Amino acid sequence: MTEPRWLDQQEMAAWHAFLEASHLVARRVEQQLREREGLSHPQYEILVRLSAAPEGELRMTELADLVVTSKSGLTYQIGKLEQAGLVRRRSCPGDDRGVYAVLTESGRRKLDRAAPGHVDLVRSSLIDVLTREQLESLADGLSTVTRTLRTRDRG
């Protein structure tokens, strides 16, 4: 068994900063969405992804990939959104196992109400705290992590 490559001081600082910042931002976002709109952050993200999709609908498998969750986790969230009348499901023509999640008009209105407060919080918690250069570095670095992990997961 080989010795692990322990993190050096700079690597440990980066890891801790990432963890703490991501947890703090996620907690604020979750709290604000729950208190103001009665939505979880994953539910809000589902509504956002559906609103950006053609015809406001996506196959469940594609949606699960976009919101980085399991199929069962997405099914649970879609069920909650469906109960609230924000999303509906429809069968995929020609594929008995395929299911689409479809944004309803009520879901679109909910998203329209939630979005301004959400973007204000994202700005005050992350975007406006960083310089343009820091934002560019953050986006570049995290995009590299995302591409690497997605490639590994598919490989």
Residue whose structure tokens are 């979750």? 30
**Domain presence at residue 5:** no
Contact 92, 59 (CB under 8 A): yes
Range(s) of the domain holding residue 46? 12-154
**Domain presence at residue 63:** yes
Domain total in the chain: 1
pLDDT digits (tens, 9 = 90+) for 64-107: 999 999 999 999 999 999 999 999 999 988 777 889 999 999 99
**Domain presence at residue 142:** yes
What pLDDT does residue 96 have? 72
Q: Return d(Cα 19, Cα 135) in angstroms, integer.
A: 17
**Domain presence at residue 1:** no
**Domain presence at residue 4:** no
Residue whose structure tokens are 């980066």? 14
Rounded to 5 degrees, φ, ψ at 7 are: -75, 135
**Domain presence at residue 87:** yes
Residue ranges, the chain, pLDDT below 70 = none
Contact 50, 82 (CB under 8 A): no
CATH of the domain at 145: 1.10.10.10
**Domain presence at residue 140:** yes
**Domain presence at residue 26:** yes
What pLDDT does residue 26 have? 97
Q: Return d(Cα 40, Cα 29) in angstroms, integer.
A: 9
**pTM of the shown model:** 0.91
